[in-house]
A and B are shown apart, each in its own frame.
Chain A
């Protein structure tokens, strides 16, 4: 009970001030019929040492980059996290603070978020960014809702090559709203089919959502899509599942995207079995008052000194409640801080250099695997750090064989794309050494008939 300071003497003294006979009396408004008449059926309290031993035992039953050679991407990426990141976010002034409602004693969080908003704008080429969202998939869903609000239209085109979790999340958010979701197929490049897109794009479209890069790791033709969407007044949403790509690729803003959302996990957040991650959301000035989520703005104090506050809160549920732009109440403050620190460390040249490493490693792996007998690359479009491989056997079988050599070789596509049973996505980052890639190739070729 080391988290609870009360001694029996404290309790007696406090009850006397309250004028209650015992603690039980404080619950007098809870009718007896609604009381639990037994202790909760939970395991007994653990000491700190017992707890850590139990958790360590569970943790050891999971595969990580320390136990396996890891080639998994698909919306979560194994990148090196500089020691500085965890040291700084472990300062309890950051992690034990609440949402900065009292700006005079929250300037640390507020300035860091203002810096985060600025970095996201610079990276995406957009005008404004919010203080972060739950993750890339839910940010994508919020982008779709915002596009519908802003255009007052109700049809949304989703690329079939967009991350399946992003598509599923959009569908859930739109489930009971009058929004029609239309899928746009991909072609042999692995990009969204331009002819199919042109055929579906018209004045009724609120938005077109493309992955950049998409779930196959392929870099979509955003500029071409921007021309089509601009012509009919739809919002082009670029959904970035691997933001490190923006260190190397043209920014979505430069290519004509109207809204850029994505996942920030690559910037200093551990894989952590899928969360907590970091959604980012950036847009053009025209959509400022339609943005979901928290925003931090610059202002001055009564003496004219620069400071930062949460702002434009009338969009939120505090005041207009059911007319709010979204029901979001929090952001991913600490995750956004980690990303801000990470981006500050890598900076202008480092992010580029790191992205080039990922690009080169993937290119090497792609070339090596394509040369293996029986293996081919089904998509011809350009890729960043992950790519689709087609095996001579069902992908699940090949990957199980690879796994026996302590290699997690990729993500089978069949669960989401039943027509691609032999295909899987391989991801290569700066964490994979050449010998890891060579080992993967050796096992893959050994696994082929």
Chain B
């Protein structure tokens, strides 16, 4: 079964459980310094069937090998549109591991957690300044969790005024989680069609006294600024509704335009995207939410406040929508984001946005002659192409897999849904001109290969440990855990 080292230094590795049952141990415990106590037999389990038994080196080698099968930002260019895979500064990792941050218990008395509370308070203030939204909660655990917090606040605000509005407008260029979030808040979703940019007239036609809010992503998922956003906010407000902005693409606006100034009422921040906290293979992220002063009473509890003498957690918020998770937010992620904001300062944040937009436009200009661009508007931090001009019967998926052979993580594919065969590229500001050129040259030569040798695309990737994986069978006959065979 195991063929260690059969491909040069590409090492094979079994599952933990297949190593196991050897009577090894990978831990050490101090000698028990109190009398042993017997757990009543009606409560105690006999065994943990299937659990591994490994030495420390077994474990280290296992996970080290697994890590080599992954592609991260430190490995190379990761132009995933909408995910903002920028470089994650190493100092941020040092910062969140400072013993006074990593070791503080969430039930520690407030006077013994002043450093943590001050950092959270400062971050709330920073995010308020960046967004133009004066009140901020740090509690939500991810962007979608922030959406939930925001939409709950919108509903609470309406109900506080004695209104029971039932509908939420969502344009086709909004993020994928928006409709599910609206549904979780008991709303009915009204989709709006756009021509790449949402038109104020479309919103005016859909607006009525039953609309609670519109959920907009700005810049939208095509990487385009919603140029009529000011007018849209005015129409929604006049109709008695509120405007939610999905802040996933805030990387395009730092220091350029503040959602709060534009007329947005509620917005979440994806700290892991905009403020460079690592994505960790899917998490943890953090999804703070900023709101206008009018909505501040509805923020989830607790909020960090400053008294005359110290910082404290304010739980006494009678109009709050409640608690979204345990404790106060992903503090370790908040420390990283705070460190990033302090590292760059106001000029640096603006510069990051400018270079992110420059990079996206550069990639756009270099690929535009060959790849089909469905919308002609000026792109901000990301650009969406389609597979329409791809030859040899090749599709977006084939292009993505072939990019892997060239040593790049593929862009986001088949999203947004408004573009058939979408290829969504977000290079981010941390990529250099050289790495953008290498990426563009790979994209251009793949377009040529599609014409001349389409099988190279269709059989890709060839240079990875595994070839294309059968996702259909995985869904049809789900095997979601290891089980001992035979």
Contact = CB atoms under 8 A, between A and B. Distances in A.
A115 B44 CA distance: 25
A36 B256 contact: yes
Contact of A107 (B16, B26, B400, B465): B465
Nearest to B108: A63
Contact of B107 (A72, A98, A430): A72
A154 B88 CA distance: 44
Given A134-B325, A270-B103, A288 B365 contact: no
Contacts of A44: 345-346
Contacts of B105: 63-64, 70, 72, 76, 78, 271, 273, 408
Contacts of B290: none
B126 A42 contact: yes
A420 to B, nearest CB: 16
Given A166-B326, A168-B322, A118 B481 contact: yes
Contacts of A95: 72, 88, 93, 278, 280-281
B206 interface: no
A322 B332 CA distance: 32
B485 interface: no
B37 to A, nearest CB: 4
Given A134-B142, A138-B145, A45 B347 contact: yes
A275 interface: yes
A273 B323 contact: no
B436 to A, nearest CB: 8
Which of B88, B107, B473 has the most C-beta atoms of chain A within 10 angstroms of its own C-beta? B107
A103 B333 CA distance: 26
A122 B50 contact: yes
A274 B24 CA distance: 33
Which of A13, A52, A360 has the most C-beta atoms of chain B within 10 angstroms of its own C-beta? A360
Contacts of A419: none
A185 B106 CA distance: 26
A430 B29 CA distance: 8
A175 B300 CA distance: 13
A305 B2 CA distance: 12
A371 to B, nearest CB: 14
B261 A34 contact: yes
B100 A60 contact: yes
A281 interface: no
Interface stretch (A25-33, A197-205, A387-395): A25-33
B460 to A, nearest CB: 9
A24 B380 CA distance: 12
Given A51-B342, A108-B68, A273 B470 contact: no
B469 A297 contact: no
Nearest to B118: A58
Given A56-B98, A347-B25, A41 B346 contact: yes
A84 B60 contact: yes
Contacts of B256: 27, 30, 35-36
A307 B466 contact: yes
Interface string B306-342: 0000000001000001111111111111010001011
Interface residues of B, number: 197
A273 B101 contact: yes
Contacts of A61: 100, 113-115, 118
Contacts of A45: 342-345, 347-348
A445 interface: no
Given A254-B45, A334-B280, A104 B466 contact: yes
A93 B74 contact: yes
A219 to B, nearest CB: 6
Interface string A304-316: 0101110111100
Size class of the contact patch on chain A: 35 or more
Contacts of B43: 219, 249-250, 382
B246 to A, nearest CB: 11
Contact of A408 (B26, B56, B108, B470): B108
Which of B152, B230, B323 has the most C-beta atoms of chain A within 10 angstroms of its own C-beta? B323
B445 interface: no
Contacts, number: 673
B176 A329 contact: yes
Interface string A181-198: 000000000000000000
Nearest to B36: A360
A134 B471 contact: no
B205 interface: no
Contact of B474 (A90, A299, A348): A299
Contact of B15 (A111, A329, A359): A111
A155 to B, nearest CB: 17
Contacts of B467: 104, 301-303, 305
Nearest to B184: A327
A3 B344 contact: yes
B469 to A, nearest CB: 5
B378 A349 contact: no
B326 A135 contact: yes
A93 B104 contact: no
Contact of A273 (B64, B116, B257, B377): B116
Contacts of A360: 32, 34-37
A4 to B, nearest CB: 5
B255 A40 contact: yes
B45 A248 contact: yes
Interface stretch (A230-238, A336-344, A372-380): A336-344
Which of A62, A82, A351, A430 has the most C-beta atoms of chain B within 10 angstroms of its own C-beta? A62
A119 interface: yes
A330 B248 CA distance: 13
A62 B280 contact: no
Nearest 9 pairs of A and B residues by beta carbon: A274-B327, A59-B100, A334-B280, A45-B345, A64-B103, A274-B106, A333-B282, A61-B115, A172-B322
8 contacts: A51-B342, A96-B75, A98-B78, A106-B70, A273-B105, A323-B183, A326-B184, A327-B183
Given A271-B103, A275-B330, 20 more contacts: A3-B429, A17-B365, A36-B256, A61-B100, A66-B99, A90-B93, A92-B72, A94-B72, A95-B278, A96-B72, A98-B78, A112-B281, A122-B49, A131-B282, A172-B322, A274-B326, A276-B332, A333-B281, A341-B59, A408-B109
